[in-house]
Structure 1
Amino acid sequence: MLNKDIYAVVDLETTRTTSESGRIIQIAIAFVQNKKIINQFSTLINPHETIPRNIVQLTGITQDMVQGAPSFEDIAASIHTMLSGTIFVAHNVNFDLPFLNAEFKRVGMTQLDLVALDTVTLSQIVWPTAPGFRLVDLTTYLSLTHGRPHQADSDALATGALLIKIIERLEKLPIITLQSLVDLPLVLPKDSKSLFEKVLIKAKALREPLPKQLQVIDGLAIRRFSDPEPLKNKKNITYPAKRAAKQQLYGQNLTYREQQAKLMNAIKKHYSTSSLSTVPGESAFVAEAPTGMGKTLGFLLPFAYLANDADKQVIVTEPTITLQSQVTETINTTLHNILPFEVRAVSLKGRRHYLNLQSFKRSLQIDEGTTSLQFIKAQILVWLTETVRGDFDELHLMNAQQKFIAKLSQNANNPTGSPFYGYEFFDRQHVLAQQAQFLVVNHNYLAEYASELGDQTNKPYLVIDEAQNLPSAVLNQSRHQLPIQTWLARVQTAINLVLQDTKPAIGDILHRIIGGERLKNHLLKSLEIISNEIPQLQVALYRRFLLNKKMPATQGQYEIALANNDFAQFWIDQSNHVNSIHKEVLRLEDSLQILLTQFSDAKTAFSLGERQQLADFRRLLDSISQYEKQLTIFQQDLVDFPKASIFWLTDSQNHDSSNLKLSGGLLHTLNYFKEKVYPHFMPPTIIGATLFTSTKSGYLYDRLNIDKESATIRHYPDVFDFEKQARLLMVKNAPLPTDKHFTHYLANQLVDVTTAINKNTLVLFNSLDMIQQVYNFMQSNPKLQQSKITVLAQGVTGTRGKIKKRMQSEKNIVVLGAASFWEGIDLPDDQLRLLVIARLPFDRPDTVLQKAEEAILTAQGKQPFYQSTLPKAVLRLRQGIGRLIRTPEDYGAIIVYDVRILTKSYGKTLRKMLPTNLPQKELTDDKIISNLQDFFAEQHKQL
């Protein structure tokens, strides 16, 4: 049946997105049979109305092109006949089929009643790791021909080729996976699910053997996993110190770079000496290596040789999961292909990043009643036939709910009794890690698991990449929040679940296990005591620190810092309540373990719903326990880091103690790395593109606890020719950013500049509030409305990821971005040509954290602005400007609208730390456009 079907793959171009107001201007059909395109049809259509400007820009179809084309009435009968008896296919079938039927209805013809498939959702299921699911994304991902996106003839042929790929992919799936897809209560557009059923029927008839790389465990087809072979070190391998040796090693794979080679040799020399200090923080290797130098390979290659020679592991820590994946890939491909010895890298993350097979198997048999969750299950079923790591970050899930993903990553109630024991992905990574030279982690992971990564008998090497971000990661990791009302609500929810005895419920489960009634009483007693103690602790906090306090109201809430001495005394005064909570939480944990054991040993058959109910109850008690541990952490921080910790209370403006939140953690990293991280490793390598805030500043060394005197320090020069590739324009007549008219002024300037230049532009802000204001002003500007420019705003029009994707694939995009756009964004060439700094990146001065840091520095006799505020701004500004030039052939311009870079004394420091050969110009705003036009014209001449 599958081979005989004729699929009519249809694409429409229309004047508008709704059939009520729009008309078709082009239709194309590609006919597919037996996985081949057997025929095609395409025609322009005269809509007898004006084609909107944005449609002309998108499709390239102009009014002149359709002027002599037939009307829909003229070809409707032919199209109807062509499509009759086929299976209708479209990339977003819920648009094309209803729109076409509306046109048939308009001209008095019968609407098509066809089986219809949607290639968008089918693609999302069969390629769950694809980077995007627009037609242009998928044709690129699958290397399909797609010459003219957004023109129906090209789109229909591309969608036809995509349909063939979808069928081929489904035919390669094992029968058990296809059966699971069919059994899932999936709701897909039109009849898309029927394709799974047809492929399953064909697969059952053929009965192909299970592919060798797969195995079936308890009804799930997964990739095989076996313990890795022991890593074989090769001794007496000579390090390629000379240029000729490196070029011979690289062969045709890599290009020799002089500055990169110097970095490699400096690292190898530093760690080959016997005089390295064993004192934490001493003998560090510190290197500022600019973008474009190839610093990643610059540190990976020498450490591969060092690890091989010394039989040590190398821990590489990156600021983001994306960089973590990239470095792992570089080691396992680039390094692996050139080195004369075996090299392996494993990426390590926390448990929440990995699918738990037992939890997923249970979820397949539960219909949560949510279409999106069933869809995610379908994606995971296919993904399991591909993935070795089971890392959720591999997936591009649609509408993923964090609570649902948390369920899928939670451990089994009885791990050793699970049929998947020994196959779970989280455990796989740690097995692989034992036979790898490189363990690649992110900064948050290092902050939490430094002691586990280290080896006291054979200390690993430690490379901290983009090290300027590590202190912030540690601080964020250390800072905890206890929303007291949420904690109390979860305790009360647990009480209600125990009291319920309807099926499925914990109360009913307790009735059916040995000693269940006694266990139920223990659970209730502990929960009720905790439920009584939490409000007393909450009221005590409020009375001691907030009652009668007059605090300025800001944005619906206010914060108050707690003096550490007073806070320590508070815990002493409230020790009875705290100890009572602690004791009952321990009893809860014991009761839960007994419950899990009795549940596993019970001979009674429990339903799937009851098993899920127990898993949810376990997770609820775990969260209650985790909140209790925050109390211990707060007290421990007071003991371990009394001078480096800060605590504060957040309350609503209405002074209602029920909204109280207690927060705290490290204020700064004074001695943190010396005590918690460095003792577990060899002296660290500190590396990054922007480490230093001035030629004399000790900011980096203070924050990372590095001993400057014993460190080996290297500054590598910029590799880009900024004098030719870039230009910095500083507007000298702009109003101050604090001026009430600044946002309106900036919005008008951005519209004038971007509509004149028509280049992809990134505008960097310090706050989402200002982005919202500027975005609104820009949207109301008539000049923008009449232009080709599309404005995207973080927090308004989409997430960082979606906005970045559009910048990578579209033109005339202007992005308004805040914190996450200042760094970690790689947009080379036409993806980004103009960078605008709306406001210098200083931290907000009115937060509890900022005020507390200032107070500490002042008490030490230091100037907070020059010791903290300015260095942070310098780093952030350098990172922001680093977004622009990414390759030796790249070019672009920068505009700074914050006049303080010219008028304030610290402006000189900021300007001095920018690339040395970057041309800097002071201009009035009326000269900006002509200057930019001259610059870009000059660049175009050189191409």
Structure 2
Amino acid sequence: MENLKFAVVDLETTGHSPEKGDRIIQIAIMFIENGILTNEYVRFVNPGQEIPVFIQELTDITKDDVKDAPLFEKIAHEVRDLLDGWMFAAHNTNFDLTFLQKEFQRCGIPRWQGKQIDTVEFSKIMFPSAVSYRLKELTEELGIELSAAHRADDDARATANLLLKCIEKVTCLPEQTLARLHKRSFSMKTDLSVIFYLALVENRKKTLNPHFSQFRGIPYRQAILMKELSPRKIVYPTSLDEKDQLLIQAYPSYESRSAQLQFMDAAWESLKSGTEIMVEVPTGIGKTVSYLLPATVRAVETKKAVIVSTYTNHLADKIMAEEIDVVSKALSIPVRATVLKGRSNYISLMKFAELLLSGESSYDNIFTEMQLLVWLTETMTGDLNELNLSGGGMLYIDRIRKRSSVLAEDEIGVDYHQIALENCRHADIVITNHALLLSDGSSKQQIVGESSGLIIDEAHQFIHAAYKTNEIIFSYTNWKYVMGQIGSEADDQISRRIEEILIRKRLHRSRERSNLSSEFDKFTSAFDAAIQLLTGSESAQRGHVKGSRIHIALEDISADSTLFKTVFQSMNEFIETASAYVKRLDREVESLSNKEQAILAEWHYWIDEFRVKVGEWVELFLDQETGGTVWIEQDQRSIPGSLTVIKSPIDSAPVIRKALDSFFSKEKGVIWTSGTLSVKSDERFVARQLGVAPEVPVMKLLAPEHFYTGAQIFLIDDMPNIQQVAQQEYVEEVAEAIVQTVMVTEGRLFVLFTSQDMLNQTHELISDSGLLEDYALIAQGISSGSRYRLLKSFRQYEKAVLFGTNSFWEGVDVPGNALSAIIIVRLPFSSPTEPVFKAKTAQLNKMGKNAFTAYALPEAILRLRQGFGRLIRSSSDTGFFIILDRRIETKSYGKKFLEALPDVPVKKVSLARMVDELNNCYNK
């Protein structure tokens, strides 16, 4: 891109605040002209003070490096002159440019004036699906060399190459996309409009890229629709030798495992005979391929897909990406597979087009629109989970999710969800998630009706999914957000824009506007009174307090239901008034401009959201007949903002059997499989919660011989007793154990907690100590990003520690040496105050059963088994499983936990002794 000159700057400093005396220790400037890195300026700078130890460790810059370097005062004019006439670029200009300007000011030099480009802002737009926008992770993902992160020269060079990558991508975008990006770029924090303008001018000399289709003028890459294949012939292998030969084709280093072949045969018999089976399959036998092979044969034979369901969308994508090709190689035929997710995972092109027209004004919304415009030129699925968005961006995304199966005329044949559904009709394997199977949607009905069998992987998680799918959640902040969209009379809000259209069309009636405001005021007054009741002093007094959070059962609040009825009635009256308010516009919709139609559609969207809220309100506060438990959660530090009310079923089995009734009624094969389907003391524990009939046996397969020879279990016997000391004291000891273990293993460590509060305290203590300053401390609930993104960050760092709670106990894979140890902070019992657990145990006690032995203990044992399963993923893996909770040896039930783990060496040792043993192992 000609006529653009960039000075790409990176600073290393003694700290973040020049006002408090922090100074530059290294400066690097990379100069780019006409798309080429032409020159560079790199200087160490003497800060005139000691460099903090953690900065030395981070940057590898010591006092010896800077002792003969000039003070910044000596080179300030030189740096200022070098920057004149160039666009300033940095990876976070808010730091580098701000710091530099304050240093110029301190040295009595005028502030630099010019245009600036922030490559964080730029790369978020141009690479909207990147895992992370930290320079190290982003450059690694894009294949940009960064040999020494946190050195100004290497960081500046990598940033320069990142800037060139962004510009290169801009030049490849279609004209219509660039035009929309340019229009919106004036709202960005840095001067990206210059780049988009020049790219647009250049692009107008080209023809439209033939890879892009258009929807209402928006370029997008269309999803691929599967085509019919010529008939394929395949039979299921009957002999052991035939099965081995198939697997050798897929895995050149394949070794025959009897358990794997047993599972294949069991899956085949179930699918062929239309029966239900449960199979516990240990890690290391190739579980996924073992069920995909017979499933594919059955699908080809019947010309009907077999459905594979797993717990998360990420796992569904992983099966598609990593396992289907393996099965194709084994069977020597193309396997037709597709991933289907719930409708709301997909973008609605129509809704996005309407929002683009309606004229968003906030930075978050405009920024998200820019990300989406770029993403639509790349995505082949329309799956919104591909995007890496900020919190503000997620609010925008919720407005463009696919909500309805009804399509506008121009959406037919281009809608991503519709194409995904159509592909299911031609697929051998349909990969989906538990939530979709547990829903009542039309997508589920279609794939079930056209299937020949069902395989439920991670079957124990089907229980949790049954609870989550059937939860009804009231969020105060979400309600206020929806209310604000239609109730606000600010100039840029929907209410004022609708009023302007009515005035332009001479359809405005002051009395109708007054009625609308009056009904909204009645509703908000009733709503605020109900919230006051839910968050009042009685709630705080009766609730269970954990840290600053309060849990209280709704039934424990002596509330007059008439208040909840008043909210319901006033909300319905407001909805009716709001619908009537635009009736005249509805009748004249064809006379409206495209933009006016988009604004009217937005009004109806928010009215529909209010209707959904009415249903939530009735279910939570007025419907006393349906079963379940309802509770209130709030944080004392943020009331009413933190208020959440949740309703959940108590029993998972009825929910599950009802959801899968169409499989059982049509006698299709159903295979439940997981690494943890049983507990020695109660082999039907999981089966009962899944609603599996007693006559269906739990088939348990064994891991390959010597699979766990690389594992050791350590029980630390000098930790304080968790039930006899204050949490703060226990946290201090946990932090010490983590630090000492990390020093020996050099990171590559999971620390698993059962409480977010304890995780937060431990992470804070270790961070503040500075003892692990050289390590990436990745913490669930603290570090930003989904579980998958946190896990990817963990894999990318050589020296990393991951702090996780419940969701990291299972379903995450870190094979090989990337994970060397797992620390279990406390045995994974559910909190007795957790509302569903509390309701479940109360129910069992009423039935005369011991809730601890019947539910709490087996649930915790299963979770510990799942935690251990993260450590050893193949027979070549080695690792240490470290349990800090002394109850495993001091309580009578402790041996049940140990019996549930694989037969590996168990050592009861002090922390110091364990560290010595680990040291010896690593020295060897």
- Say yes or no: does 1:759 pair with 2:747: yes
Partner of 2:261: 262
Q: CA deviation at 1:270?
A: 1.7
- Say yes or no: does 1:444 pair with 2:435: yes
Give the letter for the 1:726 counterpart. A
Please give the per-residue CA displacement for 1:203-228, whole angstroms capped at 9, x wherever unaligned.
22xx2221221123322111134643
CA distance 1:511–1:788, change in 2 (3 Å): closer
Partner of 1:13: 12
Please give the per-residue CA displacement for 1:825-865, whole angstroms capped at 9, x wherever unaligned.
33445544332212111112234433432233234443221
- Say yes or no: does 1:323 pair with 2:311: no
CA distance 1:931–1:596, change in 2 (3 Å): farther
- Say yes or no: does 1:910 pair with 2:910: no
Please give the per-residue CA displacement for 1:31-51, whole angstroms capped at 9, x wherever unaligned.
333433344443434434322
Separation of aligned partners in 1, 2:659 and 2:405: 33
Q: CA deviation at 1:703?
A: 1.0
State the SS of the aligned residue for 2:400. helix
Separation of aligned partners in 1, 2:835 and 2:82: 70
Partner of 1:172: 172
Separation of aligned partners in 1, 2:800 and 2:913: 23
* 2:264–2:291 CA contact under 8 A, matched in 1: no
- Say yes or no: does 1:874 pair with 2:861: yes
Partner of 1:23: 23
TM-score, normalised relative to structure 2: 0.85
- Say yes or no: does 1:428 pair with 2:419: yes
Moved more, 390-399 or 526-535: 526-535
Partner of 1:504: 497
Q: CA deviation at 1:881?
A: 2.4
- Say yes or no: does 1:479 pair with 2:471: yes
State the SS of the aligned residue for 1:905. coil
Partner of 1:183: 183
Give the letter for the 2:669 counterpart. P
Partner of 2:795: 808
CA distance 1:28–1:922, change in 2 (3 Å): same
State the SS of the aligned residue for 1:184. helix
CA distance 1:82–1:889, change in 2 (3 Å): farther
Please give the per-residue CA displacement for 1:875-902, whole angstroms capped at 9, x wherever unaligned.
1111222233344444332222211111
Q: Superposed, which structure 2 residues align to 1:26-105 within 5 Å?
A: 26-69=26-69, 71-72=71-72, 79=79, 82-104=82-104
- Say yes or no: does 1:300 pair with 2:292: yes
CA distance 1:923–1:664, change in 2 (3 Å): same
Q: CA deviation at 1:459?
A: 4.5
State the SS of the aligned residue for 1:409. coil
Separation of aligned partners in 2, 1:38 and 1:287: 63
Separation of aligned partners in 1, 2:584 and 2:333: 48
Give the letter for the 1:808 counterpart. R
Separation of aligned partners in 2, 1:927 and 1:748: 15
Q: CA deviation at 1:677?
A: 0.8
State the SS of the aligned residue for 2:309. strand
* 1:413–1:615 CA contact under 8 A, matched in 2: no
Partner of 2:721: 736
Separation of aligned partners in 2, 1:266 and 1:89: 61
Q: Superposed, which structure 2 residues align to 1:3-402 within 5 Å?
A: 3-20=2-19, 21-69=21-69, 71-72=71-72, 79=79, 82-104=82-104, 106=106, 112-204=112-204, 207-225=205-223, 227-237=225-235, 239=237, 242=240, 247=245, 251=249, 255-259=253-257, 261-262=260-261, 265-271=264-270, 273-274=272-273, 276=274, 283-330=275-322, 333-336=325-328, 339-402=331-394
Give the letter for the 2:836 counterpart. L
* 1:345–1:436 CA contact under 8 A, matched in 2: yes
Q: CA deviation at 1:69?
A: 4.2
Unaligned runs of at least 5 residues, structure 1: 277-282
* 1:459–1:680 CA contact under 8 A, matched in 2: no
Separation of aligned partners in 2, 1:203 and 1:508: 36
Separation of aligned partners in 1, 2:242 and 2:56: 56
Separation of aligned partners in 2, 1:587 and 1:787: 56
* 2:494–2:603 CA contact under 8 A, matched in 1: no
Separation of aligned partners in 2, 1:786 and 1:910: 32
Moved more, 66-75 or 422-431: 66-75
Give the letter for the 2:256 counterpart. E
Please give the per-residue CA displacement for 1:124-158, whole angstroms capped at 9, x wherever unaligned.
11111121222222322222233222223333332
Unaligned runs of at least 5 residues, structure 2: none
Give the letter for the 1:869 counterpart. A
Please give the per-residue CA displacement for 1:762-820, whole angstroms capped at 9, x wherever unaligned.
32222222234444554565xx5586456554444555646545433335544443222
* 1:12–1:26 CA contact under 8 A, matched in 2: yes
State the SS of the aligned residue for 1:460. strand
Q: CA deviation at 1:307?
A: 0.9
Q: Superposed, which structure 2 residues align to 1:522-533 within 5 Å?
A: none
RMSD: 4.6
Please give the per-residue CA displacement for 1:508-544, whole angstroms capped at 9, x wherever unaligned.
75996999999999999999999999999999x99xx
Q: Superposed, which structure 2 residues align to 1:527-676 within 5 Å?
A: 551=542, 554=545, 559-560=552-553, 599=586, 601-605=588-592, 608=595, 611-612=598-599, 614-628=601-615, 631=618, 638=625, 645-646=628-629, 664-676=647-659
Percent identical: 26
* 2:128–2:375 CA contact under 8 A, matched in 1: yes
State the SS of the aligned residue for 2:751. strand
State the SS of the aligned residue for 2:408. helix
Q: CA deviation at 1:319?
A: 1.2
Moved more, 443-452 or 789-798: 789-798
Q: CA deviation at 1:873?
A: 0.2
Q: CA deviation at 1:462?
A: 1.0
Partner of 1:825: 812
CA distance 1:241–1:490, change in 2 (3 Å): same
CA distance 1:143–1:547, change in 2 (3 Å): closer
* 2:752–2:803 CA contact under 8 A, matched in 1: yes
Q: CA deviation at 1:254?
A: 5.8
Partner of 2:844: 857
Q: CA deviation at 1:308?
A: 1.0
Give the letter for the 1:674 counterpart. R
Give the letter for the 1:736 counterpart. N
Partner of 2:700: 714
Q: How many residues align?
A: 905
State the SS of the aligned residue for 1:505. helix
Match of 2:457 among 465, 479, 489: 465
Partner of 1:280: none
* 1:91–1:119 CA contact under 8 A, matched in 2: yes
Separation of aligned partners in 2, 1:107 and 1:404: 45
Give the letter for the 2:17 counterpart. T
CA distance 1:342–1:92, change in 2 (3 Å): same
Separation of aligned partners in 1, 2:166 and 2:475: 47
Moved more, 552-561 or 146-155: 552-561
Give the letter for the 1:480 counterpart. I
Partner of 1:769: 757
Partner of 2:920: 934
Give the letter for the 1:423 counterpart. V
Separation of aligned partners in 2, 1:366 and 1:523: 22
Separation of aligned partners in 1, 2:36 and 2:642: 63
Separation of aligned partners in 1, 2:146 and 2:658: 57
